[in-house]
């Protein structure tokens, strides 16, 4: 079975780890949001790509929610001493990876090739693809001004209320050819439980023309009215969308035919059906690797059913 998983940095990356433990090499492609990317001291920082790489390599720092386990911050302390702003915490090991990636890209590789090279060096079996080789940068228009995503998210701690989002560069950007191929080859496209507007919409903006709604399955990032991680609920509310599981289903209704909800949201099945989507109830909370694998297994079973139907 071939799956293409659209993912941001937390829920999507966890689900990626679940699939990676389940599928054979060549069966899983993770397509990562790059609209959260930014540059610090000339280093391209790609938080969602790296959360996926580090998680698949077993190095992800669960405690901090970014970067590498047991990393230190000595380069950053020097930059602080030199008077630089250091609100974006780049760890030393993390910087090692960024130095290599920057060098690969400056030496002429496309970002897609550089990430593939690094995934290979980390002995990751799954294909990890940035959504595009061209820069796309989310700008967050807030009451405090038009901020780069990381400035709003990290420096401002998501505090300024969000008026609108803009994915700068998205009109000129193309999905990388590997991304288009992976989506076309996939038996299903899974949209991970990531922030719909921050993490998934940039990917969907690029990929929507290549998607077959009947083969797209979404895992809700909102469970029982709360987001498991990050500012999804607050952000949807600020943007005037319905900040609930049903609201997320509505958000995705035009691109996805199947919507996975947690047992606590069982009562929403009718509402989801009314949107023209097939509701599926699974345990979606991923507290540990066993949860990740269980959710991946449940979704894989659904897709197996589609494959069997298609073959019959």
Query: How far is it, in rounded angstroms, from Cα 66 to Cα 153?
Result: 13
Compute the least distance from the CB of residue 13 to a second copy, in Å: 19
By CB under 8 A, name the one of 24, 42, 62, 270 that touches a second copy.
42
Which residues does residue 40 pair with via DSSP β-bridges, in sequence order?
43
83 binds a second copy (CB under 8 A): yes
Which residues does residue 38 pair with via DSSP β-bridges, in sequence order?
45
Tally: H helices and E strands in the chain: 12, 14
Q: How far is CA 280 from the centre of its chain?
A: 21
Compute the least distance from the CB of residue 218 to a second copy, in Å: 34
Query: How far is it, in rounded angstroms, from Cα 232 to Cα 238?
Result: 10
Which CB, 74 or 301, lies closer to a second copy? 74
106 binds a second copy (CB under 8 A): yes
Site string for a second copy, 109-148 (x = CB under 8 A): ---------x--xx--------------------------
* 42 backbone φψ class: left, alpha, beta (φ>0; ψ -120 to 50): left
Query: How far is it, in rounded angstroms, from Cα 21 to Cα 124?
Result: 11
Compute the least distance from the CB of residue 112 to a second copy, in Å: 17
Which CB, 64 or 72, lies closer to a second copy? 72
CB under 8 Å to 100, separation ≥6 — which residues?
118
Mutual angle of helices 92-106 and 47-56, in 10-degree steps: 110
By CB under 8 A, name the one of 97, 203, 282, 286 that touches a second copy.
97
Which CB, 42 or 270, lies closer to a second copy? 42
163 binds a second copy (CB under 8 A): no
By CB under 8 A, name the one of 102, 220, 232, 284 that touches a second copy.
102
Among positions 47-76, residues that touch a second copy (CB under 8 A) are 68, 71-72, 74-76
Which phi and psi (to 5°) does residue 6 adopt?
-90, 125
Compute the least distance from the CB of residue 204 to a second copy, in Å: 32
Among positions 218-277, residues that touch a second copy (CB under 8 A) are none
By CB under 8 A, name the one of 100, 158, 264, 285 that touches a second copy.
100
Q: In Å, how far are 136, 142, 210 from 172, measured between CA atoms? A: 9, 24, 17
Which CB, 100 or 285, lies closer to a second copy? 100
Compute the least distance from the CB of residue 95 to a second copy, in Å: 5
Compute the least distance from the CB of residue 19 to a second copy, in Å: 24
Burial class (CB in 10 A: 0-12, 13-18, 19+), 172: exposed
Q: Shortest CA distance to 126 belongs to which of 43, 34, 21? A: 21
Q: List residues near a second copy by CB under 8 A.
A: 41-43, 68, 71-72, 74-79, 81-84, 91-97, 99-100, 102-103, 106, 118, 121-122
């Amino acid at each position: 079975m071939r799956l293409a998983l659209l993912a941001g940095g937390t829920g999507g990356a966890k689900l990626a780890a679940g699939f990676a433990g389940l599928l054979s090499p060549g069966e899983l492609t993770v397509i990562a949001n790059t609209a959260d990317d930014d540059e610090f001291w000339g280093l391209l920082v790609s938080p969602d790509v790296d959360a996926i790489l580090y998680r698949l390599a077993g190095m992800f720092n669960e405690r901090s929610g970014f970067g590498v386990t047991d990393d230190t911050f000595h380069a950053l302390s020097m930059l602080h001493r030199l008077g630089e702003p250091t609100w974006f915490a780049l760890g030393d090991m993390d910087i090692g990876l960024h130095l290599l990636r920057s060098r690969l890209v400056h030496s002429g590789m496309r970002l897609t090739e550089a990430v593939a090279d690094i995934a290979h060096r980390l002995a990751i079996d799954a294909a990890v693809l940035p959504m595009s080789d061209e820069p796309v940068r989310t700008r967050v228009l807030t009451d405090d001004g038009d901020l780069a995503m990381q400035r709003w998210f990290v420096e401002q701690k998501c505090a300024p209320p969000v008026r609108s989002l803009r994915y700068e560069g998205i009109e000129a950007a193309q999905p990388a050819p590997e991304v288009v191929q992976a989506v076309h080859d996939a038996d299903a496209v899974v949209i991970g439980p990531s922030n719909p507007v921050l993490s998934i919409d940039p990917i969907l903006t690029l990929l929507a023309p290549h998607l077959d709604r009947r083969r797209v399955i979404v895992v809700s990032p909102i469970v029982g009215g709360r987001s498991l991680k990050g500012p999804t609920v607050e952000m949807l509310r600020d943007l005037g969308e319905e900040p609930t599981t049903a609201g997320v289903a509505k958000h995705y209704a035009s691109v996805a035919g199947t919507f996975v909800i947690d047992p606590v949201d069982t009562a929403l099945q009718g509402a989801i059906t009314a949107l023209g989507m097939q509701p599926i109830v699974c345990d979606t909370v991923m507290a540990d690797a066993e949860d990740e694998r269980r959710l991946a297994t449940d979704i894989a079973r659904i897709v197996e059913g589609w494959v069997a139907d298609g073959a019959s």
